[in-house]
Amino acid sequence: MAISAPDGEPAVSNTYHKSRTWLLLPSWVVLGALSLVPAILMLVYSFLTKEFRGGVIWEFSLAAYDQFFFDRGLFGDDSPTLDWTYIAIFWRSFWQAGAATLLSLAIGFPTAYFIATRPVQTRAIWVFLITIPYWVNLLIRTVSMKFLLRDEGPLNLSLMAVGLIDSPLQIVNTNLAVQLGLFYSYLPFMVLPIYAAVERYDFSLSEAAADLYASKWVTLHRILLPVTKPGVIAGCILVFVPSLGSFLAPDLLGGAKNYMIGSLIEEQFKGNAGNWPFGAAASMILLTIVLVILIAFARQQSRLERGRV
Amino acid sequence: MKKHILTLTTTALLAFGITHAKADGEVVVYHWFEYMPQELIEKFTAETGIEVVMDTFDSNEAMLASLKAGGIGTYDVSVPGDYMVKIMANEGLLDTIADGELENKANIQTQWLDAGFDPGRQHSIPYQWGTTSFSVNRDDYTGDISTTDILFNPPEELSGKINMLDSQGEVMAMAAMHMGMEQCSNDRKKLQALNDMLEEAKTHWASFNSDTAKEVLVSGDASVGMIYSGFSAKGREEGANIEYAFPTQGFVAWMDNVVLLKDAPNRENALVFMDFLLEPENAAAVTNYARYAAGVDGVSDMLDEELRTLPEGNPPASAGPATFIEVCDEQTQAVYDQIWTNVKK
């Protein structure tokens, strides 16, 4: 290297130092325009008065949050009690997304491990194979899933042909179908970060553990998992968060019988209710919950890191 | 689901329309999915030199939301259902068509000229009209289907095999007929009973879906499906052994209308487009495609033969009344919205 950096710092860190602000500007603009501004807009809307059949009146109101947390009966004039309706919808969504995440992890981790342990020249092909189905539009994949799971679909027909079941399993329009749909939709988001982590894993660590008489389970539990944890966490977040707001799988595979967070919010904007402030409030509550979870996680993570050093 | 596929094609169409816009300009149409034959669009462009740019929606409410969220000023015409014409007029989203601006206005059938939702046809022209009820797969059920009990209190063999339209207005209207009550009721006892009836009925329903209302019947995933008359006819033509029901309690009638939107960027072209659709020949082309009925005189000679005897278009004597969906006031509507939430929570 011609350029030698002082104090043993890598040379590259100073190269763009002066112009860093300018170089980062496009990212800031995109992030600001596409996520910060809409989020602030939602926050503002959630505190406005609803206009009949969609739209807002620019008057401060807490009605949207009141509707979320308090039940005032069918006619709106009972004394308020805690309303479990929307809390239950949120709980259902978290539960569905959590189940889909665990399923993805259970399948995704071994898959990623398998790919990372192939010879270097073939790994790219395996990764390629993982991504191929995802060139197809999400909607079409979700509909295909429905065709696979139908009462007279290939899954039920083949299970019946083998003689495992006598009558078709009712899978479509159940929670299981939603979980399978979410799992299939977001599986690569689990596989790829874990693969990146496992690929960097130094397998001589496993050998060392084996030399010290660690069982395979102990090696996995005490060595491999802690080292690849950042990849696992990234994968879980990437699957969990979009699953939480999904409405395609619940609508198509779950039969839209029970609201999920995504469909509840959609209904406020596109449905008969036309209650924009309530839709905005539900979005803000969701955003807050997700942020709190992520921040708590990040803090715990950094505390652990510091403890280790 | 179809709406998403259509959004893709729409985007493609939009791109096409923009790059090929001619001096004669364009007309920007906000339309239902699968509701206007491509040949008719091409014919319009060939006759007038005006390009059609089309965007689609899948429910009246979704269209309203999109227009209120900033769509006004980008579209020239839209195709709302009867009650939505009234709502849009109340919201001030419609432009007024002055006398003499539409050459073919006289072609509108007399019974539709002074429609309750748009007296004097100041903002709209008829597009198609039809009914909403439900269809039953006759391989799965052979009993009497001329009752709303099939939807709301089904026989055991149909329980769990019912698809409902994911549309509050239509479900509520059918439910009101089932209960024998008015659509915009203020009677608390009746409303509570309606709420309880729907929550109980829901336990018999497999799914809510409007886009795939026809597909679930054709594929056999559902034995009963709430459906529009023309969709049912198409499903039957696609091979499903389904029969469209005309319940004695009544069923929903509707009319879709082409409206002139406020701040239409191509107002002149929009009027040309509306005149084009009022030509009997073109109205007939839509009817032949969509399997509904045109509200235009002089169409009958140009219709497909089977449309005359279409079971979906010819109610038997036993059929109950066909009723339009009513527009409730804000306070009344709030209760119905709450009931809908209770059904779907």
Write down the mean pLDDT value for chain B.
90
Is a pLDDT exceeding 90 seen at residue B319?
yes
Asked if residue B140 and residue B125 are part of one domain, the reply reads no
Crossing angle, helix A85-116 and helix A261-270, to 10 degrees? Answer: 120
- Rounded distance, CA B190 to CA B182, Å? 10
Asked if residue B246 and residue B149 are part of one domain, the reply reads yes
Asked if residue B110 and residue B6 are part of one domain, the reply reads yes
Is B170:B208 a contact under the CB 8 Å cutoff?
no
Asked if residue B200 and residue B325 are part of one domain, the reply reads yes
How far, in Å, are A27, A30, A32, A237, A262 from residue A35 at the CA level?
11, 8, 6, 18, 18
**What range does the domain containing B340 cover?**
130-253+314-344
Tokens encoding B310: 């279409």
Asked if residue B337 and residue B206 are part of one domain, the reply reads yes
Phi, psi of A302 (to 5 degrees): -70, -30
Domains of chain A in start order, with CATH, are: 88-274 (1.10.3720.10)
CB-based burial, B288-317: b 16+ in 10 Å, e otherwise:
bbbbbbbbbeebeeebeeebeebebbebee
What is the DSSP code string of B162-198? EEE-S-HHHHHHHHHHHHT--SS---HHHHHHHHHHH
User: Model confidence over B73-112: pLDDT tens digits?
Assistant: 999 999 999 999 999 999 999 999 999 999 999 999 998 9
Asked if residue B145 and residue B119 are part of one domain, the reply reads no
Asked if residue B148 and residue B114 are part of one domain, the reply reads no
What is the DSSP code string of B118-145? SGGGSSEEEEEEEEEEEEEETTT--S--
- Cβ contacts of B1 on chain A, cutoff 8 Å: 139, 142-143, 248, 251-252
- Cβ contacts of A52 on chain B, cutoff 8 Å: 330, 333
Query: Helix, strand, or coil here: B300?
Result: helix
Nearest CA-CA distance, residue A76 and chain B, Å: 8
Residue B264 is predicted with a pLDDT of: 95
User: Model confidence over B251-289: pLDDT tens digits?
Assistant: 999 999 999 999 999 999 999 999 999 999 999 999 999
Smallest CA–CA distance from A144 into chain B, residue: B1
For residue A182, give the nearest of A133, A130, A246 by alpha carbon. Answer: A246
Phi, psi of A11 (to 5 degrees): -60, -35
Is B151:B201 a contact under the CB 8 Å cutoff?
yes
Residue A307 is predicted with a pLDDT of: 67
Environment class of B265 (CB within 10 Å of its CB; exposed 0-12, middle 13-18, buried 19+): middle
CATH code, domain with B55: 3.40.190.10
Of B187 and A76, which is predicted with more confidence? Answer: B187
Q: What is the pLDDT along chain A (309 residues), one digit of tens a residue?
A: 344 444 545 555 666 777 888 888 999 999 889 989 999 999 999 999 998 888 899 999 999 999 999 998 888 888 888 989 999 999 999 999 999 999 999 999 999 999 999 999 999 999 999 989 888 898 899 988 998 998 888 998 899 989 888 888 888 888 899 999 999 999 999 999 999 999 998 888 888 888 898 888 888 888 888 889 989 999 999 999 999 988 888 888 988 888 899 989 988 988 888 899 999 999 999 999 999 988 988 888 888 777 664
Query: Helix, strand, or coil here: B310?
Result: coil
Query: Helix, strand, or coil here: A50?
Result: strand
pLDDT band, residue B12 (cuts 50/70/90): very low
Asked if residue B220 and residue B277 are part of one domain, the reply reads no
Asked if residue B162 and residue B248 are part of one domain, the reply reads yes
Task: Name every residue whose Cβ is closer than 8 Å to that of residue B324 and which is 6 or more positions away in sequence.
Answer: B82, B83, B116, B117, B252, B253, B254, B255
Is A241:A192 a contact under the CB 8 Å cutoff?
no
- Cβ contacts of B338 on chain A, cutoff 8 Å: 74, 76
How far, in Å, are A157, A168, A282, B181, B217 from residue B239 at the CA level?
22, 23, 43, 37, 10
Asked if residue B192 and residue B64 are part of one domain, the reply reads no
Asked if residue B213 and residue B234 are part of one domain, the reply reads yes
- Cβ contacts of A89 on chain B, cutoff 8 Å: 345
For residue B272, give the nearest of B258, B285, B284 by alpha carbon. Answer: B258
- Per the structure, the count of domains in chain B is 2
Question: Which DSSP category does B264 fall into?
Answer: -
CB-based burial, A171-187: b 16+ in 10 Å, e otherwise:
bbbbebbbbbbbbbbbb
- Tell me chain A's radius of gyration from C-alpha atoms: 25
Query: Helix, strand, or coil here: A168?
Result: coil
Contact residues, chain A to chain B, C-beta under 8 Å: 52-55, 74-76, 85, 88-89, 137, 139-140, 142-143, 150-152, 172-173, 248, 251-252, 255-259, 267, 269-275
Lowest mean pLDDT of A246-260, B71-85, B131-145, B204-218, name the range. Answer: A246-260
Comparing CB atoms, the residue among B1, B61, B192 nearest residue A274 is B61
Residue B332 is predicted with a pLDDT of: 93
Environment class of A8 (CB within 10 Å of its CB; exposed 0-12, middle 13-18, buried 19+): exposed
Asked if residue B110 and residue B36 are part of one domain, the reply reads yes
Interstrand relation of A81-82 and A70-71 (parallel, antiparallel or unpaired)? antiparallel
For residue B29, give the nearest of B327, B203, B291, B266 by alpha carbon. Answer: B266
ipTM attached to this prediction: 0.82
- Rounded distance, CA B307 to CA B314, Å? 10
Tokens encoding B167: 């549309």
- Rounded distance, CA A61 to CA A282, Å? 15
What dihedral angle (degrees, nearest 10) is formed by the CA atoms of B61, B64, B66, B72?
Answer: 170
Beta strands in A14-131 (DSSP E): 48-50, 56-60, 70-71, 81-82
- Rounded distance, CA A175 to CA A172, Å? 8
Is A122:A204 a contact under the CB 8 Å cutoff?
no
